[in-house]
Amino acid sequence: MSKALYPGSFDPITYGHLDVVQRAQKLFTQLTVAVVENPRKAPLFNTTERKALVEKALDEMGIADVPVITYSGLLIECAKGLGVTAVVRGLRAMSDFDYEFQMALTNRDLDSGVESVFLMTAGRYSFLSSSIVKEVKQYGGDTSKFVPRCVERALEKKFGLA
């Protein structure tokens, strides 16, 4: 049984993230999405809210059998604790690759039994980031092409647009 972990901050989850989930789900018998608690970042949504949004977005998209967890600390420790053999990461551009390559090599040094698997996001999402989505919505823009409706509603509420 091949288990994989798809970690991220998901602040908020976008169609780009969901594209990676759907494609990774085809490659592994079990995929878990892990929402990271990163003390270096100041997220718009707290960890509990982000986890709930990921779950709602998966449901809204009809994506089943993908558990969502939260974690803090080293990714490789989370992966080992779940018994996964792969960590899935989405790539949009070369700038993503530089960071992800460094992380993959570090994780391999920490535990060579967990592989990093990179999936290129669909071309239509190659520019998309959670930061862009937040900025567009903060200024009242339409984010319906970027995120599921449940995420749009949560953003509207956060920014007092609802």
Could you confirm whether 129 is annotated as catalytic? no
**Considering 41, 145, 149, 157, which one is annotated as catalytic?**
41
Could you confirm whether 72 is annotated as catalytic? no
What is the C-alpha separation between 54 and 47, in angstroms, rounded?
11
What is the C-alpha separation between 100 and 14, in angstroms, rounded?
19
Asked if residue 148 has a cis previous peptide bond (ω within 30° of 0), the answer is: no
Could you confirm whether 145 is annotated as catalytic? no
**In the numeric block, which tokens belong to residue 18?**
């969901």
**Considering 51, 89, 130, 134, which one is annotated as catalytic?**
130
Pairing of strands 68-71, 3-8: unpaired
SS3 letters across 129-162: CHHHHHHHHHCCCCCCCCCCHHHHHHHHHHCCCC
**Considering 3, 23, 80, 92, which one is annotated as catalytic?**
92
Could you confirm whether 144 is annotated as catalytic? no
Alpha carbon distance, N-terminus to C-terminus of the chain: 44
Active site residues: 17, 41, 92, 130
